[in-house]
Amino acid sequence: MSKYSVILPTYNERENLPIITYLIFEMAKKNNLDFEIVIIEDNSPDGTLQVAQELKKVYGDKLIIHFREKKLGLGSAYMDGIKLCHGNFVVIMDADLSHHPKYLKDFIEKQKETNCDIVTGSRYINKGGVMNWGFDRKLTSRGANFLASTMLGVKCSDLTGSFRLYKREVLEKVIKDVVSRGYAFQMEIIIRARKYGFTVEEVPIVFVERIFGESKLGASEFQIYLKGLWKLLWTF
Amino acid sequence: MSRGTNLFIAFSISAVVWVITLFLSTGYVNEVAKSMPTYALILYFSYALFKVGGDLARLKDYPEEAESLQKEVQEAKRFYQQQGLKL
């Protein structure tokens, strides 16, 4: 039987963490799936670590907590997370409830049906969508994806998405070569995976903008994105 | 070769062909050749407008997802209260 490990990087997610944990394990119980969660906690000032430790009293060994002294970024969070995973499949997703765990069942079904190496959630295919996004956010996101797909020549409807299921060995191979940060990081994973000949399938998801906590998006994110895109142009 | 290098080479070759055409052509062909870069830019931005505009029009909102998530948040809170957790 397959085992699924979810890597959840957290920073100031004390309100969202209990909810996402509950939703993941409820989904797993409902569908008779073997899941564990690996929390990568970067010393949040809001007490997220203490909340995670309380949750461990309920979920026991199915919840693994890895504490880091400071905010070290997503890439290193995934690399640290993989080392602690016991699953043969790894899920990466956001902890702020914008990625709903109910879609994991669809991801798993798609993977079994196609035996693909990566399943990526897409907001931009049929039955996919968003909620609580203003027009400017929608325009920025679609514009960014358009720019990336024309400049890089990559066919993927949602290149910057970060809700994905990987075969463990695929993520291990791809992630150690990734150099980008931010949204370009997610794009680089897909591009590298395709270069290695790994197969990618898409599943529609609805992305609900976070309801608790503060977004970590800022104006500098778009600048980092453009720099990352430019770098990818000369890497592949 | 990287994608950037390929694009740079394609662009350079197009630029050289355009410059040669500009110098060697006369009359109507010369007039058309002068407008080609502007036309190419207009074509690209029109395509971008069409593609992004169409994608935006198709990008759906799902208010029911936000409502259902709120209910699940309450369900989760009740679960943890029953477990006696103070979060």
What are A88-139's pLDDT values in tens digits? 999 999 998 989 999 999 999 999 999 999 999 998 888 888 887 888 888 8
For chain A, how long is the longest CA-to-CA vector?
Answer: 49
Q: Express each pLDDT in A156-168 by its tens digit.
A: 778 778 899 999 9
Q: Cβ contact (<8 Å) for B80 and A18?
A: yes
Instruction: Give the CA distances from residue A187 to residues A157, A236, B65, B71, in Å, rounded to whole numbers and listed in that order.
Output: 11, 12, 26, 33
Mutate to test the interface with B, among A17, A21, A50, A131 (most CBs of B within 10 A): A131
pLDDT for A214 beyond 70: no
Residues A99, A208: Cα–Cα separation, whole Å: 7
Q: How many CB atoms lie within 10 A of CB B32?
A: 12
pLDDT for A217 beyond 70: no
Q: Cβ contact (<8 Å) for B65 and A131?
A: yes
Of A65, A8, A5, the closest CA to residue A33 belongs to: A5
Gyration radius of chain B over CA positions = 28
Work out the average pLDDT over A171-193: 85
Instruction: Tell me if chain B has a CB within 8 Å of the CB of A57.
Output: yes
Q: At A155, is the pLDDT very low, low, confident or very high (cuts 50, 70, 90)?
A: confident
Q: At A208, is the pLDDT very low, low, confident or very high (cuts 50, 70, 90)?
A: confident
ipTM of the complex: 0.83
The DSSP bridge partners found for residue A130 are A207, B61
Q: Express each pLDDT in A51-85 by its tens digit.
A: 999 999 999 999 999 999 988 888 889 999 999 99
Residues of A in contact with B86 (CB under 8 A): 54
- End-to-end CA gap in chain B: 54
- Supply the pTM of this predicted model: 0.86
Q: Which residues of chain B have pLDDT under 50?
A: none
Q: How many CB pairs under 8 A join A and B?
A: 92
Contact criterion met (CB below 8 Å) for A187 and A146: no
Mutate to test the interface with B, among A10, A17, A22 (most CBs of B within 10 A): A22
Tokens of A161: 């998405």
Contact criterion met (CB below 8 Å) for A201 and A114: yes
Residues of B in contact with A59 (CB under 8 A): none
